[in-house]
Amino acid sequence: MITLITALLFWLGVLERPLYSVTLFDVGQGDSLFVEWHDGTQMLVDGGPSTDVLSRLGEVMLPWDRSIDFLVLTHPHADHVRGLYAVTERFQVGTIVATQVPYFTDWYEGFLQDSSAHKIPIVAPWDAAWPEGAALLYPISPSDMVASDNVNESSIVLQIGDNQRALLMGDAGVLVEQRLLSQDRLRSVDVLKVGHQGSRGSTSAAFLRAVQPGIALIPVGDDNRYGHPHDEVLNRLRDFGARVLRTDQSGTIRVRVFGDRVDIKTTY
CA–CA distance, 30 with 248 (Å, rounded to integer): 11
The answer to whether 251 touches 10, Cβ cutoff 8 Å, is: no
pLDDT tens column, 220-246? 988 787 778 999 999 999 999 999 999
As a whole number, mean pLDDT of residues 155-174 equals: 97
Q: Is 90 helix (H, G, I), strand (E, B) or coil?
A: helix
Strand partners, 205: none
User: Which pLDDT score, from 0 to 100, does residue 264 have?
Assistant: 98
User: Which pLDDT score, from 0 to 100, does residue 203 have?
Assistant: 98
Q: Is 2 helix (H, G, I), strand (E, B) or coil?
A: helix
pLDDT tens column, 212-225? 999 999 999 887 87
Q: pLDDT category, 130, cuts 50, 70, 90?
A: very high
Q: Quick check: 13 pLDDT over 70?
A: no
pTM of this prediction?
A: 0.93
pLDDT tens column, 21-48? 999 999 998 999 999 999 999 999 999 9
Nearest to 84 by CA among 113, 51, 36: 51
CA–CA distance, 247 with 229 (Å, rounded to integer): 11
- Residue ranges of domains in the chain, CATH in brackets: 17-266 (3.60.15.10)
Q: pLDDT category, 68, cuts 50, 70, 90?
A: very high
The answer to whether 4 touches 30, Cβ cutoff 8 Å, is: no
The answer to whether 47 touches 70, Cβ cutoff 8 Å, is: no
Q: Give the rounded percent of residues in the chain with a pLDDT score beyond 70.
A: 94
Tell me phi and psi for residue 257, to 5 degrees. -105, 115
Q: How many CB atoms lie within 10 A of CB 69?
A: 17
What CA–CA distances, in Å, run from 125 to 4, 100, 228?
37, 8, 28
